[in-house]
Amino acid sequence: MIEPTRLDVSGERIRAVYEFTGPPVEARSRAEALAVEQTIEFPADLVPDDDIRGQIIGRIESLEETGPRTVRVAVGYAVETTGLEFPQFLNVLFGNSSLLPDVKLVDVEIPSTLVARFGGPRFGIAGLREMFDAPERPLLATALKPMGMSPERFAEMAYELALGGIDMIKDDHSLADQPFARFEERVRACSAAVRRANEETGSKSIYMPSINAPHRLLDERVEIALGAGAGGLLILPGLTGFDHMRELAADDGVGIPIMGHPAFLGGFVSSPTGGIAHDVVFGTLMRLAGADVSIFPNFGGRFSFSREACTEISTACRRPLGEIAPMWPAAGGGMTVDRTGEMVDFYGRDIVLLIGGDLHRGESLRESAAAFRSAIG
Amino acid sequence: MIEPTRLDVSGERIRAVYEFTGPPVEARSRAEALAVEQTIEFPADLVPDDDIRGQIIGRIESLEETGPRTVRVAVGYAVETTGLEFPQFLNVLFGNSSLLPDVKLVDVEIPSTLVARFGGPRFGIAGLREMFDAPERPLLATALKPMGMSPERFAEMAYELALGGIDMIKDDHSLADQPFARFEERVRACSAAVRRANEETGSKSIYMPSINAPHRLLDERVEIALGAGAGGLLILPGLTGFDHMRELAADDGVGIPIMGHPAFLGGFVSSPTGGIAHDVVFGTLMRLAGADVSIFPNFGGRFSFSREACTEISTACRRPLGEIAPMWPAAGGGMTVDRTGEMVDFYGRDIVLLIGGDLHRGESLRESAAAFRSAIG
């Protein structure tokens, strides 16, 4: 038995909801084990009746049978367990519990101290509507590809796409610093190309380079992007970390929109009974970590997300979440211009429509982009 | 159709093996789609017969039916697609394919250029045997816990554990910079305590603080740890990124052993037909990213890993992998001293035995630690 400990704890709690799959009769003991695992990771019988037991161990707030073999359990964690830091916040939510069988993280709510600390999207839905002078319409996005093209070719593409009226022209997420198109050269060329198109047409398109870099080079790549006049950043938090994205969003010296890409994060949503729910990964976590736009694979494309999952994600992007601004869902992944109407009907007008390869099928990129722009009415 | 492109490509290839679940007859077309997805993410019919088609798109090297509904497909990726950078290497392996249904990454081999670039463990099995003056025996590890204790209490624990003969005394992975035990104060106190124990007994125990910090504070925490004389670092790459760990391992200014912790990574192994295989996550990737020790949950503890998964992980830690040093598997998660013999029989002597809470059950931590040390013979 350890010595009794008294602690100064505010009482503010994070609320995490887990779905347990298995016999409902076992759910309470499994939940109690999880609440220990996520906090003290120590034999509970060796903890006296003190503040570690009363305040630090997660508190089971509710337990509800949602099916013959599923129970939803809400666990409250003292905000102090996170040290008010995002990586440790994720650790409290799903660090070791990610390794437990048949436990899925399905919802997260955070108290006001963390809302203030994490901040969320700098622009969000309202901010990008203002930036693009688009008070009502969906926003349009596309990607520069394929890998193997030169910086000059990407810049020509970016110019044509901006002339055609695409709002956000991002790097394909596969573009890093390959020899075919070095980061700095590509970013300077594409930023200049989009600026030139904007000057010619008066439009407000932005180029968003992909900041998928080794840890030690992340700051340098961001500085190059800012120096070149890039209008936004594409971030892959599954590879460079959620907290890096959050810091970029919070940094007044950056101050441009951030698009979060789902690369590598699919592993979390590949199990029906484990991992993290689609809407938590691509909605809540992306949003808490400051993405203004969150890309996810639309139903009916190359990927496997269901209509239901897409609805849940887009809802999580836009639902009330403390003072955290709503975020744009961006549905992509093998989308085509002829699905535009269907997608707007499905998602509503607060949606970013992301079409990549399909724009290359027409006579010219500019015409394809213009047709895409016309299609949103 | 895009214009034909000629590229300077070395011919060196990464080999990634995926398991597809579903009708075997569909495997080839699914594999072809994946090889495009992971590289150019562009309609293949719009690419002419050029070097993008011939060199950049992943090449299907083999395809083997391994069960009535499983096919293993080896895909070769030109090393240039990674830009020789670790985050983009992970992106090529499993960026968008993580979002495809019923595709699991099950093996990875890298060519000599990447071996030289990534480096792997600085110490590995031989290096830590020398450091701990332990030519043959298993190594012992434990964790300072529970969260809520003061730096002084953790330091007392660390002192007792070092006196008892534990090699590696790490922070519990839940310890970050909480108000109960601020990082700097804790790390100074625990480093000093272990140093004092070593001076008294002539042993070579090390304290390994957890560097689970916001992006912007990672360097500062490492500097504090080095300044305090910490003997190693605990890294949670699922939260702070694989590439951060790799850079620490490669940094001569750090130069101390690294223990990789599996927090948050369980999401990747929660699906039998998706995500990443256990041995790739906790073996190959941890090792390529420079961990000297990789922690994973032992079978029969609080977690769910099977004996088979544990065998595969420990094999991946130690098998030949180019010039990359073998890494210590560290089996933990609810382990007890009385299972020591069984674990050594199962894993062999190149194993780190990690026992946390169970050491607190005896009369004194020092005695429990000494009993643990005796148990390995």
pLDDT at A130 over 90: yes
Instruction: Name the burial class of residue B65, with classes exposed (0-12), middle (13-18) and buried (19+) by CB atoms within 10 angstroms of its CB.
Output: exposed
Q: If you ran DSSP here, which 8-state letter would residue A352 be given? A: E
Chain B residues with CB under 8 Å of A215 CB are 218, 241, 243-244, 246-247
Residue A356's closest chain B neighbor by CA?
Answer: B42
B149 to chain A: closest CA residue: A5
Residues of B in contact with A177 (CB under 8 A): 83, 85, 88
**Chain B residue numbers touching A236 (CB-CB < 8 A):** 87, 91, 95
Percent of chain B whose pLDDT exceeds 70: 100
Distance CA(A145)–CA(B92), nearest Å, equals 15
- Other C-beta atoms closer than 10 Å to the C-beta of A166 total 31
> With contact defined as beta carbons under 8 Å apart, do A298 and A332 qualify?
yes
Residue A249 pLDDT level (bands cut at 50, 70, 90): very high
**Which residues of chain B neighbour A333 with C-beta distances below 8 Å?**
99
Select from B81, B90, B148 the Cβ nearest to the Cβ of A178: B81
Give the DSSP per-residue string, A73-106.
Answer: EEEEEEGGGGTT-HHHHHHHHHSGGGGSTTEEEE
Catalytic hit among B104, B145, B173, B244: B145
B168, pLDDT greater than 90: yes
Contact A95/B3, CB-based, under 8 Å? no
Positive or negative: CA dihedral B239, A218, A259, A373: negative
Q: Which amino acid is at B146?
A: P
Output the DSSP codes for B32-101.
Answer: HHHHHHTTT-S-GGGS-SSHIIIIIS-EEEEEEEEETTEEEEEEEEEGGGGTT-HHHHHHHHHSGGGGST
Q: Which of B98, B156, B183 to probe by mutation at the A interface, max A CB count within 10 Å?
A: B98
Nearest to A55 by CA among A11, A113, A3: A11
pLDDT on residue A173: 98
Tell me: pLDDT of A335 over 90. no
- Does any CB of chain B come closer than 8 Å to the CB of residue A233? no
A124-375 maps to CATH 3.65.10.10: no
> Which of these is catalytic: B104, B170, B173, B261?
B261
Work out the pLDDT band at A303, boundaries 50, 70, 90.
confident
Residue A224 confidence (pLDDT)? 98
- Report yes or no: A43 at the B interface, CB cutoff 8 Å: yes
Mean pLDDT of A23-51: 96
Count Cβ neighbours within 10 Å for each residue of B211-237 and write b for 16 or more, e otherwise. bbbbbebbeebbebbbebebbbbbbbb
Closest partner residue to B88 (CB to CB) among A98, A176, A357 is A176
| Residue A272: band (very low, low, confident or very high) from pLDDT cuts 50, 70, 90 | very high
pLDDT tens for each residue of B292-336: 999 999 998 888 799 999 999 999 999 999 899 999 999 998 889
The reported pLDDT for the residue numbered A362 is 86
**In A, which residues are within 8 Å of B218 by CB distance?**
215
Does A53 contact chain B (CB < 8 Å)? no
pLDDT tens digits for B104-119? 999 999 999 999 999 9
Each residue's pLDDT tens digit, B265-294: 999 999 999 999 999 999 999 999 999 999
Q: Give me the mean pLDDT over the A345-349 stretch.
A: 97
Rounded Cα distance, A95 and B264, in Å: 4
Q: Please give the Cα distance from B254 to B237 (Å, whole number).
A: 17
Q: Which residues of A are catalytic?
A: 145, 261
The torsion angles phi and psi of A281, rounded to 5 degrees, stand at -65, -55
Note whether A274 and A103 are within 8 A (CB): yes
Q: Give B250's contacts in chain A (Cβ within 8 Å).
A: none
| Cβ pair A98:B2 closer than 8 A | no
Residue range A74-111, pLDDT digits in tens: 999 999 999 999 999 999 999 999 999 999 999 999 99
Task: Give the residue from B259, B257, B344 showing the smallest Cα distance to B298.
Answer: B344
Average pLDDT over every residue of A114-141: 97
What is the C-alpha separation between A91 and A81, in angstroms, rounded? 10
What is the 3-state secondary structure of B27-42? HHHHHHHHHHHCCCCC
Which residue, A279, A278, A220, A215, is CA-closest to A244? A215
Chain B residues 139-158 with a CB less than 8 Å from chain A: 143, 145-150, 153
Average pLDDT over residues B255-265: 98
B261 Cβ contact partners less than 8 Å away, ≥ 6 residues apart = B173, B210, B234, B235, B236, B237, B295
Angle formed by the axes of helices B307-318 and B340-347, nearest 10°: 60
Query: Is pLDDT of A207 > 90?
Result: yes
pLDDT tier at A304 (50, 70, 90 boundaries)? confident
A212/B33 touch (CB, cutoff 8 Å), yes or no = no
Question: How high is the pLDDT of residue A334?
Answer: 82
Is B261 designated active site?
A: yes
Which of A215, A247, A288 is the mutation pick for testing B, counting most B CBs within 10 A? A215
Domain ranges of chain B: 13-118, 124-375
Is B252 within 8 Å of chain A by CB?
no
- Chain-centroid distance of CA B104 in Å reads 18
Is the CB of A6 inside 8 Å of chain B's CB atoms? no
What integer is the mean pLDDT of B165-178? 98
Q: For residue A239, give the chain B residue with the closest CA.
A: B87
Q: Do B56 and A244 touch (CB under 8 A)?
A: no
Token pair for B47: 């690419």
- The C-alpha atoms of residue B163 and residue A75 are separated, in whole angstroms, by 38
Instruction: Return the pLDDT at B1.
Output: 77
DSSP class of residue A361 equals G
Q: How far is A322 from chain B (nearest CA, A)?
A: 22
**Chain A touched by B112 (CB under 8 Å):** no
Measured CA to CA, the distance from residue A88 to residue A95 in angstroms comes to: 9
Element (H, E) at B116: helix B112-118
Confidence of residue B2 (pLDDT cuts 50, 70, 90): confident
Inform me whether the C-beta atom of residue A333 falls under 8 Å from chain B C-beta atoms: yes
Check if B115 contacts A (Cβ < 8 Å): no
What band does A377 get if pLDDT is binned at 50, 70 and 90? confident
Using CB atoms within 10 Å of the CB of residue A163, give its burial: 0 to 12 exposed, 13 to 18 middle, 19+ buried.
buried
- A35 CA: distance to closest CA in chain B (Å): 13
Residues of A with CB below 8 A from B357's CB? Answer: 41-43, 46
Is the Cβ–Cβ distance between A232 and A132 less than 8 Å? no
Contact A303 B2 (CB under 8 A): no
pLDDT at residue A363, rounded to an integer: 87
Q: Is the dihedral of CA B83, B87, B91, B94 positive or negative?
A: positive
Q: Which of B91, B172, B272 has the CB atom closest to A174's CB atom? A: B91
**Interface size, chain A vs chain B, as Cβ–Cβ contacts under 8 Å:** 329
Considering chain B, what is the average pLDDT of its residues?
96
pLDDT of residue A38: 97
Instruction: Note whether B13-118 and B124-375 share their fold.
Output: no
**The domain B13-118 belongs to what CATH superfamily?**
RuBisCO large subunit, N-terminal domain (3.30.70.150)
Beta carbons within 10 angstroms of residue A61's beta carbon? 13
Query: Which among A37, A150, A212 has the least Cβ separation from residue B91?
Result: A212
Nearest-CA distance from A45 to chain B in Å? 10
